[in-house]
């Protein structure tokens, strides 16, 4: 096998710098590479790029020693070695699967897979040694882009009779008559509501020039809450807000 093979795997756990923690579903990439030994002097090392939480499997001679070092040749924990049991668990979490090339039994018995996980961002070198032969894989790990758990919910004064369903991670935007400087106040009857910003509604064909967007964070009380929005001139808008279940990890 030459070069790199990648398979996208959906999993519900994310590896941080210290541990694999339960989080929302992410796409974890599993990379496999053939560890080249006996490279010529001056030859550039193999290179792999991972995101934090990704897995790397290296096929090398059975019993080959592998060491992860930083650019100063000191032991590093940016990429950590995984035993077979841990690798199997992490590979198959969620709806994931061990890459087909790792499952294949077409390789000579003299070769075996060794597995690693990207724990933090940075650049490290995976040094391979088998007998007198040596090899190097340069591994660059970048931060996985942040994934918002909640969603944006937009509501208007015309929908005051309709309930709003929110999780604690959602952002609620209310589209109301008025302007940003009208002295807006928000209050939740039993939960918590915080007004984060007030801005002029963007102009559009169906948008009145005298409307405002109020962006709120709210944790509604159970089983139902009432959100009151008061304008400085006295108008009050009331909305029924109900908690929305958050999917379990």
- Least-confidence region, from 92-106, 167-181, 185-199, 233-247: 92-106
Query: pLDDT tens-digit profile of 18-41?
Result: 333 344 455 578 999 988 887 666
Rounded-to-integer distance, Cα 162 and Cα 229, Å: 16
pLDDT at 9 over 50: no
Query: pLDDT tens-digit profile of 153-198?
Result: 999 999 999 999 999 889 999 999 999 999 999 999 999 999 999 9
Rounded-to-integer distance, Cα 128 and Cα 66, Å: 5
The CATH code of the domain that includes 171 is: 2.60.40.2020
Q: What is the pLDDT of residue 98?
A: 87
- Is residue 248 a part of any domain in this protein? no
Q: What percent of the chain has pLDDT over 90?
A: 60
Q: Is 100 helix (H, G, I), strand (E, B) or coil?
A: helix
- CB 171, CB 195: distance < 8 Å: no
Q: Which of 96, 120, 142 is the last residue of a domain?
A: 142
CA 188 to chain centre: 31
pLDDT at 212 over 90: yes
Beta strand spans in the chain (E):
4-15, 20-34, 46-51, 55-61, 65-69, 79-82, 111-118, 122-130, 133-142, 152-156, 164-166, 171-177, 185-188, 192-200, 211-219, 225-230, 236-243
Full-prediction pTM beyond 0.95? Answer: no
Range(s) of the domain holding residue 20: 4-142
pLDDT at 4 over 80: no
What's the alpha-carbon Rg for the chain, to the nearest Å? Answer: 27
31 and 127 in a single domain? The answer is yes
Residue 193 burial by Cβ neighbours in a 10 Å radius (0-12, 13-18, 19+): buried
Q: What is the pLDDT of residue 3?
A: 42
pLDDT at 10 over 60: no
Structure tokens at 116: 């690693």
203 and 157 in a single domain? The answer is yes
CA torsion 93-96-99-102 (nearest 10°) is: 20
Residue 135: count of CB within 10 angstroms of its CB: 22
Q: Which residues pair with 30 in a beta bridge?
A: 7, 55
122 and 25 in a single domain? The answer is yes
11 and 98 in a single domain? The answer is yes
Q: Which is it for strands 65-69 and 152-156: parallel, antiparallel or unpaired? A: unpaired
Q: Which of 94, 114, 142 is the last residue of a domain?
A: 142
Q: How far is CA 77 from CA 67, 91, 114, 120, in A?
A: 10, 20, 16, 8
* Through-space distance between the first and last CA atoms of the chain, rounded to whole angstroms: 36
Rounded-to-integer distance, Cα 149 and Cα 168, Å: 10
| Count of the separate structural domains present in the chain | 2
Q: What is the pLDDT of residue 6?
A: 39
Q: What is the pLDDT of residue 1?
A: 41
């Amino acid at each position: 096998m030459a070069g790199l093979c990648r398979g996208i795997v959906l999993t519900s756990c994310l590896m941080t710098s210290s541990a694999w923690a339960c989080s929302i579903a992410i796409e974890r990439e599993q990379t496999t590479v053939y560890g080249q030994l006996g490279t010529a002097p001056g030859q550039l090392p193999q290179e792999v790029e991972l995101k934090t939480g990704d897995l790397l499997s290296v096929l090398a001679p059975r019993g080959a020693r592998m060491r992860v070092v930083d650019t100063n040749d000191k032991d590093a924990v940016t990429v950590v070695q995984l035993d077979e049991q841990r690798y199997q668990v992490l590979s198959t979490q969620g709806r994931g699967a061990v890459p087909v090339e790792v499952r294949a039994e077409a390789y000579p018995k003299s070769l075996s897979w060794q597995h690693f996980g990207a724990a933090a961002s940075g650049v490290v070198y995976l040094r391979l040694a088998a007998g007198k032969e040596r090899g190097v894989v340069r591994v660059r790990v970048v931060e996985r882009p942040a994934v918002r758990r909640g969603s944006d919910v937009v509501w208007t004064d015309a929908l005051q009779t309709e309930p709003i369903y929110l999780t604690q991670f959602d952002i609620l935007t209310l589209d109301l008559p008025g302007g940003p400087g009208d002295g807006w106040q928000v209050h939740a009857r039993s939960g918590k509501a915080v007004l984060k910003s007030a801005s002029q509604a963007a102009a559009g064909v169906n948008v009145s020039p005298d409307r405002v967007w109020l962006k709120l964070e709210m944790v509604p009380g159970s089983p139902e809450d009432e959100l009151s929005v008061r304008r400085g001139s006295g108008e009050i808008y009331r909305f029924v807000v109900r908690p929305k279940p958050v999917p379990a990890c």
